[in-house]
Amino acid sequence: MRAARVLLATSFAAVTACNNTPPPPAPEPIALHVSMDPRRVVSTSAQILTGAGWAVVVSDAPGGVLRAEHKAEGDGNGEWIACENGWGKRGDRRSQTLSLTSTVSVQMVAKPVTGGTRVQITANAQATTAPMLIRAPVACVSSGTIERFLADSLRVASK
């Protein structure tokens, strides 16, 4: 049994090491100015993200802080993440993607400034895969899509 585990671990290491391409660099945080009150920025962001299937938590911090997460299996976070070797992309049928478990989180901080609110949006991603029954971390970053989606939605809402 021990020999089988060693062989399995060795096989997994060989599969993941061969042709290993890193994910692209993580996107820079998005900063924008909107002509809305910070409370409205937070509530609007919460509605947008909840409507897109994200779990949202709003902080009582001054101005406003929102954190949201989207958990998925397989290619369910394919539009929100970019992972090593292209794993996790929508439609990817490789075993590493099929066994992928990922969480994407986004944080939005709203601070009052003259004439509106300064908003900063950042996101990150974590994932693991187990194509051979051994769960292993996968290098993933946010694709930048959720940050742009939220920023564009806030720009439209503030007009």
What are the tens digits of pLDDT across the range 65-80?
A: 999 999 999 999 999 9
Helices (H), the chain: 2-17, 38-51, 95-98, 145-157
CB contact at 8 A, 20 and 137:
no
Percent of the chain residues past pLDDT 90, beyond the cut: 75
CB contact at 8 A, 111 and 99:
no
Q: What is the pLDDT of residue 13?
A: 46
pLDDT above 70: residue 5: no
User: What is the CB neighbour count within 10 angstroms for residue 117?
Assistant: 24
For residue 24, the one-letter residue type is P
pLDDT above 70: residue 110: yes
Q: Among 1.10.10, 1.10.1200, 3.30.310, 3.40.720, name the CATH number for the domain at 22-157.
A: 3.30.310
Of 140, 65, 63, 154, residue with least CA distance to 101 = 140
| Beta-bridge mates of residue 34 | 117
Q: What is the pLDDT of residue 18?
A: 47
Residue 96 CB-density burial (10 A; 0-12 exposed, 13-18 middle, 19+ buried): buried
Q: What is the pLDDT of residue 134?
A: 80
Q: What is the pLDDT of residue 20?
A: 80
